[in-house]
Amino acid sequence: MPMTFKAGASSVKPPLLANDNAFLGDLMTSETEPELQITSGFYRQEKGTPLVYTYTYDEMKIILEGHFTMEDETGYKVDAVPGDSFYFKKGCTITFTSPDYGLAFFVGRRPAGSG
């Protein structure tokens, strides 16, 4: 099928990823060899335990709702709001926190389920 459609995808809370407040759900993955696949989906961070994540792939995020604080291993820190976008290089370590909650859409160069 040349086009895939999923209605209302951002209204479903992604599955739990870590701790009790970090959620990640893959939505779509390109149909090609695993090493060339790109996967998109939603990431939600709620108030509480920070998520420290080391990227094994390149990823881009755009903030859709709420607020995030993201800090890399160098100490560079950004308070992110809807409309802000990010590029995370393979190998970087990012700490994600939120004063309430944040929802982001991501696209990463990885197979489904490997985030």
By residue range, what is the domain housing residue 31?
Answer: 14-108
Answer whether 84's CB lies under 8 Å from 65's CB.
Answer: no
How many angstroms separate the CA atoms of 43 and 31, rounded? 22
- Would you say residue 8 has pLDDT above 90? no
Closest C-alpha among 108, 106, 9, 14 to residue 61: 106
Q: Judge whether 57 lies within some domain.
A: yes
Q: Can you tell me the mean pLDDT for 28-51?
A: 93
- In this model, does residue 4 exceed pLDDT 80? yes
Residue 4 maps to a domain: no
Collapsing DSSP to helix, strand or coil, 34 comes out as helix
Would you say residue 7 lies in a domain? no
Domain count, the chain: 1
Residue 115 in any domain: the answer is: no
For residue 8, the 8-state DSSP code is: T
Look up the CATH number of the domain holding residue 99: 2.60.120.10
> Given strand 16-18, what is the order of strands in its sheet?
16-18, 22-29, 39-46, 101-108, 59-66, 85-88
Averaged pLDDT, 94-99: 97
Quick: pLDDT tens for 14-31. 888 888 999 999 999 999
- Write down the mean pLDDT value for the chain: 92
Domain presence at residue 1: no
User: 3-state DSSP call for residue 109?
Assistant: coil
Closest CA to 50 of 18, 74, 76: 18
- CA dist 9 and 34 (Å) reads 24
In a domain, 62, yes or no: yes
pTM confidence score: 0.90
Contact 18, 43 (CB under 8 A): no
Predicted confidence (pLDDT) at residue 85 exceeds the cutoff of 80: yes
- pLDDT more than 70, % of the chain: 99
> Does residue 114 lie in a domain region?
no
| 8 within a domain of the structure (yes/no) | no
